């Protein structure tokens, strides 16, 4: 899957989560659907650090799935935390995750890139 397509597709998918139910307000998250709604709202609002922090909330409600993990990886990228992006996407096992990881790796300063022999 093309990463550009992915960048367009995922916001649309998580927008559906926000449209499907009420947007959870901070402090009022009491269910998996509230956690997903907060996660979608944070991403759609460009609050990428909050999206990264939402991982803990999603875990709490057992709602952290592969798609959410990929979106968190994208949030690291969009927040400019390329080292965090590489670290976060390494355990993810998909072509899109590998493409994102490569993109993040390429954004790191040369002293952070592993040297090839």
Which range has the worst mean pLDDT, 2-11, 43-52, 98-107? 2-11
pTM to 2 decimal places:
0.74
Residue in the structure block whose two tokens are 């597709």: 9
Tokens, residue 11: 């916001």
Q: What angle do CA 65, 70, 74 make, to 5 degrees?
A: 145
Q: How confident is the model at residue 116 (pLDDT cuts 50, 70, 90)?
A: very low
Euclidean distance between CA atoms 98 and 57, whole angstroms:
25
* 87 pLDDT more than 50: yes
Q: How many residues does the chain have?
A: 117
Q: In terms of CATH architecture, what is 3-20+29-109?
A: Alpha Horseshoe (1.25)
Q: How confident is the model at residue 28 (pLDDT cuts 50, 70, 90)?
A: confident
By C-alpha distance, which of 87, 103, 92, 101 is closest to 68?
Answer: 92
Amino acid 110: pLDDT: 81
């Amino acid at each position: 899957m093309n990463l550009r397509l992915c960048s367009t597709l995922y916001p649309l998918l998580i927008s559906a989560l926000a449209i499907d139910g009420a947007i959870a307000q901070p402090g009022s998250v009491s269910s998996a659907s509230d956690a997903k709604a907060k996660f979608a709202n944070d991403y759609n609002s460009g609050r990428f650090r909050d999206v990264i922090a939402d991982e803990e909330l999603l875990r709490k409600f057992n709602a952290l799935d592969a798609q959410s993990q990929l979106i968190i990886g994208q949030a690291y990228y969009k927040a400019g935390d390329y080292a965090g992006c590489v670290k976060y996407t390494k355990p993810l096992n998909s072509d899109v995750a590998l493409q994102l990881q490569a993109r993040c790796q390429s954004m790191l300063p040369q002293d952070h890139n592993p040297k090839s022999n």
